[in-house]
Structures are given as structure tokens and as C-alpha cells.
Amino acid sequence: MAVERVVGLWAEVWLDGVDISANVGPYLTRLSYMDFFDGDRPDTIEVHLEDTAGLFQGRCYPKKGSALRFEFGFDKPGREIVFKSAAGFEVDEIDISGPPDVVKWKATGQKPGGALHTKKSRTWENVGLEAIAQKIAGEHGLNLVFTTGLDINFSFVYQERLSDLEFLKKLTKQSGISLSLKGGRDNLTLVATNVKKAMEGEPVFEIRRQDVARFRFTDQAIQGAGGGVTRHLNHDTEELVVTEIQGEGEGHQIVMPPIGQSPAAQLQGTANKAAEGEKFYNLTMPGNPRLLSGVKVNLSGWGHNDGGWAITESRHTLDAASGYVTEIKLSRG
């Protein structure tokens, strides 16, 4: 049964490089793209299909691992809005429910080769976090973007039965840094950054109160956002060394064990990361392909929250019945 759709909507879908738009077009109910700043969750795309005829449970059933990408648009008089999913997504989940029968393809992006997941043990001496990231990226043929504003160094750190990706995620997490993989399989980029750096950019779009269909604002205190303290014994002088920093958030200070030669930088990074969760917006608005994670926007007409905010999550959805919608999560850090 063909799906009724909003006038002006169009979509194109490719599976393993083959344009299957003509096959899926009459049955397509929804396309969605989700991307995340923090890297704890992979970017994801979904295709929803009406399937009372069983077409996508039979000869059009995709293989897991198939490459999936799409483009969609919304043609308005004098204006065309186009959204393109990134390359490098592979189908890893197929969900069928009913009645009426609905098939959902879910594809995950940024899947590195197996070597990045191979567990190993090795030592790192007199090295900075950025240098560790550079070496790991180079060993696995990855590009690297390292923009943290933090200079973190180690005299000695042991990678014990951890994959390179697990090890690097552990170090960046301890330092309040977001680590993610972006791009397709053939041009993966390792990105180490934080909201504070994203906030240094220029806003790409202004969001007024009247532009938003729905919103929710949360203001809470997160432990550690107010700063932290670390203590360690200097073995040369046998003196107790205390390092303390004040964070910009409202949550209580925390006590942390030292993990490197840069306790102040690590405390600052941890406080910044905690502050990212203290104040945030969830907004739903008409579709805008420019609103992706890591982008800075400017709020106008929101009272004391006017000004710059960074997008930490985005979801772009084309619904055949209701049109193109963008949902975003904003943080200031």
C-alpha cells in the first residue's frame, strides 16, 4: 500500500551503492539521521518502510553490513531544503513489527577496522595526550582533529589489555574530553574536543523563540562542575602536593586521584565536562540541515539564556505524513 505524503517531499536511498529509491519510495514512511558530539553513541540512520505486502521481508530484505545512505528534501516555492546523510553507514539491525507490517533498517556509522579493537598491552613514557592520539591515529590510518585547549602530559602510563580505542577513550574521559569517530570507512577521523572549544566558534544560525515548535530547558547542579582537588606525594621532596581549580559550574567540587603530570589541566577538563550537563535545551523546530552536533548557534528572545550555545546532539527526520523536523540538544559547558 503506497504511503500518502506531504506535497513537496522527496527522498533518495542507496543500498550498497545502488539507487533503490524507486523500490522503497512508495513505501517509505520515515528517514532519520542522528549524530552525537560526545562519541559515547555512534551516529545512526534509520529507514522506516510500510510493508503489508511483505516486499522487504522477501526479495528486498537487506544483508547486514550493507552500506546505506540517503538524501531527502522539501521543495517550497522559491526554496529547496536538502539534507544528506554521511557516508560510511552499515545496516546492523533489521526490525519487523505488525500488524500492520513495518520494517525498520538501522545503520551505524563510523565503524573502524578490527585492528583498532584488538586488545594489547604497552607502556607510554614522557608523552602528551595529543601525541598518544596522533600515534594511534597514524597506526590505524585515521585522520586526527585534536582541539581541546588542554595540555595534558604523562611521565608513565600503562595500556594494559586494552584496545587502542578503549585506551584512548579512557584517557580522554579522565580528562573531560569527548572522543568520537566521524566520516566514512575510507576517511575516518578521530575527533578529540569539548564543548568549550565548540563555543569559541562563530554561530552558524540564530534561533528565535518563535522559530521553535517545542522546547525544554533543564538547569541542574552536577557534581564536579564547581571544580576539583587532587593530592599526590612528591617522592623527591616527600611533600604532599595539592592542586585545586575552580570550575565555572554550580556543582560541588570533587576530589580526584592524579593520573598524569598535568593535574590542573585534567581537573579543568573534568570540571568543564561536568558543566556541560548543568544547563541544556532540547528544541524541536522546522528542518534545518545546518544544525549538526559540534555547531554553535545563537539564541535570541530566550531571556537570560540568550547568546551562544553548542549543539551536542541532533536528529533530522523526514516523515512522509508531517514533513521535515530537526531536534537538537544544546549545551554551554
Closest residue by Cα to residue 252 from 266, 265, 270: 270
Task: Provide the residue type at 217 as one letter.
Answer: F
Angstrom distance (rounded) from CA 49 to CA 31: 9
**Residue 325 neighbours by CB under 8 Å, 6+ apart:** 213, 284, 285, 286, 287, 316, 317, 319
**Residue 268 neighbours by CB under 8 Å, 6+ apart:** 150, 176, 245, 247
Angle at 327 between CA 323 and CA 332, to 5 degrees: 155
On whether the CB atoms of residues 15 and 90 are closer than 8 A, the answer is no
Q: Is the pLDDT of residue 79 over 60?
A: no
- Express as a percent the part of the chain with pLDDT over 90: 38
- β-strands 28-36, 307-319 pairing: antiparallel
**Tell me: the pLDDT tens digits for 244-268?**
767 666 666 666 666 666 677 766 7
Mean pLDDT within 30-56: 90
Number of other residues whose CB lies within 10 A of the CB of residue 244: 14
Q: Is the pLDDT of residue 4 over 60?
A: no
Mean pLDDT within 16-33: 89
Cis omega (within 30 of 0) for bond into 100: yes
Extract the C-alpha cell encoding 326.
530537526
Domains contained in the chain, CATH given: 9-112 (2.40.30), 114-197 (3.55.50.10), 201-314 (no CATH)
148: Cα separation from own chain's centroid: 16
Please report which confidence band the pLDDT of residue 1 belongs to, taking 50, 70 and 90 as the band edges: very low
**Tell me: the pLDDT tens digits for 138-178?**
999 889 999 988 888 888 889 999 999 999 998 888 888 88
